[in-house]
Amino acid sequence: MVSEILSNDEIIKMARRNVSQGAWDYMVGASESETAMRRNRQAFDEVAFRPRVLIDVSHVDPSTTFLGQKMRIPVMLAPIGHMQSFTPGGAAIPTVAATEFGTIHVISSTTEPSIEDIAAAADGPKVFQLYVQGDWEWTKEIVGRAMDAGHVALCLTVDTARYSRRERPMLRGWVPPSRGRSVDPYWRASVTWEIMARIKGLSRGLPFMVKGIATPEDAVMAVEHGVDVIWVSNHGGRQLDHGIGTMDMLMEILEAVDGRAEVVLDGGVQRGSDVVKAVALGAKAVAIGRLQAWGLGTAGTAGVVRVLEILEEEMLVAMGLVGVTSIDQLSPAYLRPAKAVTHPHEMSSWVNMPIDRIT
């Protein structure tokens, strides 16, 4: 039973058995040499805890509030394209999981089923993530549909001006479903700060997020354009290769933003302790992509819920042993730089796990 899964390492191994090779390569791979993806993980490994002891941690609360929504833990489900490749029902499945667990699902504009069908799948809070794939009339129409469907915020992804070379699926000849359709790449490549501001104007006063910020300079530009949430991301290492890990970006972006917008982060999150580290540095929340997809590939809704439950269990342990009882008590004082323990694979959190439980 899914409830008996003890580790997200088991989730990955189960998903591997269920997901087709082409979809698996798309799920786990990144661009070119996959250096940026590996640096995402290493950046977490290079942050160590400074635990405090003899504190009453008999009751620990890992919940938070974000976008006006109560979250059981500060972990969103990131937007993932082509979810129908991982599970029947596509993005409607993690929407149900997010509602069941108590968190926010950020829904990709390049996945199935329709905006309206995904929104109707569950009552929990949902954010619509936009790729600009058409002219202004196309943009107004799709954002209008998302707003009519009851999303609580609008998110624009800005790090896909060119589609990257993701060699794992390329070598298999696997093409994501939306890539097989005729979409003029001009539209994504031509998005500017001015166009972003026009898109923000379509959000009907709801919070507006920009996903794909990787420098303090762009974070400042976003704040100056009235962006409510800066989403620190390198697309999980799937776009520009050879960037630094997102945790390595986080502090200087937080300093540049200086409290004028909230900041969230994705890239390399594998453990509840990773969530604690990011929040301690100053992130409001993190988002999971590959972990979510692995959960989907394992057991659909139940698989994603179990991924989140395991992250929550790990957070409770980390928070208690660090010496805090609530998210708002976390701060950089509980962290320090450390030398990473390197491994030969990006799944460094799990490479030493026994596999005999599920083989």
Query: Crossing angle for the helix pair 290-322 and 92-101, nearest 10 degrees?
Result: 20
The amino acid occupying position 349 is S
Side chain identity at residue 305, one-letter code: V
Given a contact cutoff of 8 angstroms between Cβ atoms, the answer to whether 249 and 38 are in contact is: no
Of the candidates 173, 242, 181, 265, which has an alpha carbon nearest to the alpha carbon of residue 34?
A: 242
Return the pLDDT at 357: 45
Residue 332 domain-assigned?
A: no
Give the domain range for residue 184.
2-323
- What pLDDT score does 359 carry? 46
Note whether residue 356 is domain-resident.
no
Phi, psi of 129 (to 5 degrees): -105, 130
DSSP-assigned beta bridge partners for residue 335: 49
CA dist 47 to 168, 250, 275, 348, Å?
30, 12, 12, 14
Residue 148 belongs to domain with CATH number: 3.20.20.70
* Catalytic annotation present for 82: no
User: Which amino acid is residue 131, in one-letter code?
Assistant: Y
Q: Residue 20: inside a domain, yes or no?
A: yes
Encoded tokens for 50: 């400074």
Task: Report the alpha-carbon distance of residue 42 to residue 267 in Å, rounded.
Answer: 11
Query: Who contacts 255 (Cβ-Cβ below 8 Å, separation ≥6)?
Result: 216
The tokens for 296 are 């989907």
260 located within any domain: yes
pLDDT score recorded for residue 351? 53
Q: pLDDT (tens digit, 0 to 9) for every residue of the chain, 359 residues total?
A: 898 999 999 999 999 999 999 999 999 999 999 999 999 999 999 999 999 999 999 999 999 999 999 999 999 999 999 888 888 899 999 999 999 999 999 999 999 999 999 999 999 999 999 999 999 999 999 999 999 999 999 999 999 999 889 989 889 888 887 665 668 889 999 999 999 999 999 999 999 999 999 999 999 999 999 999 999 999 999 999 999 999 999 999 999 999 999 999 999 999 999 999 999 999 999 999 999 999 999 999 999 999 999 999 999 999 999 999 999 999 999 999 998 776 555 455 555 444 444 44
Residue-level pLDDT at 348: 52
Catalytic one among 82, 105, 151, 235?
Answer: 235
CA–CA distance, 359 with 353 (Å, rounded to integer): 13
Q: Give domain status of residue 334, yes or no.
A: no
The answer to whether 158 and 234 have CB atoms below 8 angstroms apart is no
**Residue 15 is encoded by which pair of tokens?**
């998903």
- Cα dihedral sign for 128, 130, 133, 135? positive
- Can you say whether the dihedral through the CA atoms of 198, 83, 239, 339 is positive or negative? positive
pLDDT at residue 349, as a whole number: 54
Q: What is the count of structural domains for the chain?
A: 1
Neighbours of 59 (CB within 10 A): 8
Asked if residue 253 belongs to a domain, the reply is yes
pLDDT at position 342, please?
Answer: 65
**pLDDT score for 177:** 77
Whether 160 is in a domain gets the answer: yes
